[in-house]
Amino acid sequence: MYELIVIGGGPAGVAAGVYAARKKIKTLLITDSFGGQSLVSNDVQNWIGDISVSGFDLGKRMEAHLRAQESIEIVDSDIVTSIEENSDGFTLTTEKGNTYEAKSILLTSGSRRKKLGIPGEKEYESKGVFYCATCDAPMMGGRKAVVIGGGNSGLEAVRDLTGYAEKIYMLHRRDTLRGDAVTAQKLEKHPKVEFIYNALIQEIMGETMVNKIRYKDKESGEEKELEVEGVFVEIGARPNSEFVKDLVDRNEKDEVIVDHKTQASSRKGIWAAGDVSDVLYKQNNVSSGDAIKAVMNIHEHLGDL
């Protein structure tokens, strides 16, 4: 019986693991990887203490920091698929069929990329439709690409593509971007980049590979086509919270609803932090801080028990 099981190895999970170890809480951390969603970033520039770090290096350093804690146990190639409440706490079952018992649980299972759900998206997946610019931008050498979505992930995708593609369009459904203004202003001046606003993508077309998209101009109602060989979908994420849907309250976005003072969920004994929670700002630094808040509160809860 562990006092705490942390689910996830992103910035929230790792921060929780380090703090729990230092509080001598008997802890197990279960994850399939370290570093969270930044793992695919070429260049993270806002992780405090690092002017610039690749997502890969950040993940490695997080893992090393966690493994340096003597008292923490780690399962690093499995994921939790279900949780059951029992008289002493909770029983967790993993994809590999292992079970673990805990008095308390911290959910830091993050989120995964959303899909557009339009004609052609599924058909051309990996044949010109991509969800990871860092991984697939090199395939756009000398070609034209379009990034869908006006958030920070979209802007990062555009930035990654400037190193390879001949022309990059950023197609956004509104007239203002959601992502950081500083990055956007730099990209707007880039000779290869063109921003198209108020544009709703309708269809991805091609033959064996993508060769164009069709979109609707929201203002004129006109349908237009854009010749591109790559479509990079960066329209946000959905939280990995299905496995607790019968245990804790979630909002309409499937985020686990927490008390933002303590990170406690609606179920006694379960806390959540990072992108799986209903935190407004999905940021590595915020996720770490929220997870630490949760561990402080879990420590008090275990003391009361």
**Under the criterion CB under 6 A, does residue 282 sit at the interface with ligand NDP?**
yes
- The residues, ordered by sequence, that sit 6+ positions from 227 with a Cβ below 8 Å of its Cβ are 144, 211, 212
Give, as ranges, the residues between 89 and 118 that touch ligand NDP (CB under 6 A): 116
**Under the criterion CB under 6 A, does residue 234 sit at the interface with ligand NDP?**
yes
Strand arrangement of the beta sheet that strand 167-171 belongs to: 129-130, 230-233, 144-148, 167-171, 193-196
**Under the criterion CB under 6 A, does residue 255 sit at the interface with ligand NDP?**
no
Q: What span, in angstroms and rounded, lies between the C-alpha atoms of 263 and 273?
A: 6
Q: Which is nearer to ligand NDP, 195 or 243 (CB)?
A: 195
Please report how close the Cβ of residue 294 comes to ligand NDP at its closest, in angstroms: 19
Distance in Å from the first CA to the final CA of the chain: 14
Give, as ranges, the residues between 132 and 151 that touch ligand NDP (CB under 6 A): 148-151
Q: If you count them, how many residues does the chain have?
A: 305
**Under the criterion CB under 6 A, does residue 236 sit at the interface with ligand NDP?**
yes
**Under the criterion CB under 6 A, does residue 237 sit at the interface with ligand NDP?**
yes
Residue among 27, 108, 109, 153 that touches ligand NDP (CB under 6 A)? 153
Q: Which is nearer to ligand NDP, 28 or 184 (CB)?
A: 184
3-state helix, strand, coil in the chain (%, to 5): 25, 30, 45
**Under the criterion CB under 6 A, does residue 152 sit at the interface with ligand NDP?**
yes
Q: What span, in angstroms and rounded, lies between the C-alpha atoms of 255 and 239?
A: 6
**Under the criterion CB under 6 A, does residue 204 sit at the interface with ligand NDP?**
no
**Under the criterion CB under 6 A, does residue 52 sit at the interface with ligand NDP?**
no
Please report how close the Cβ of residue 292 comes to ligand NDP at its closest, in angstroms: 19
Q: What span, in angstroms and rounded, lies between the C-alpha atoms of 167 and 191?
A: 9
Residue 206's DSSP bridge partners are: 210
Question: Which parts of this chain interact with ligand NDP (CB under 6 A)?
Answer: 46, 116, 148-154, 156, 172-174, 178, 234-237, 281-283
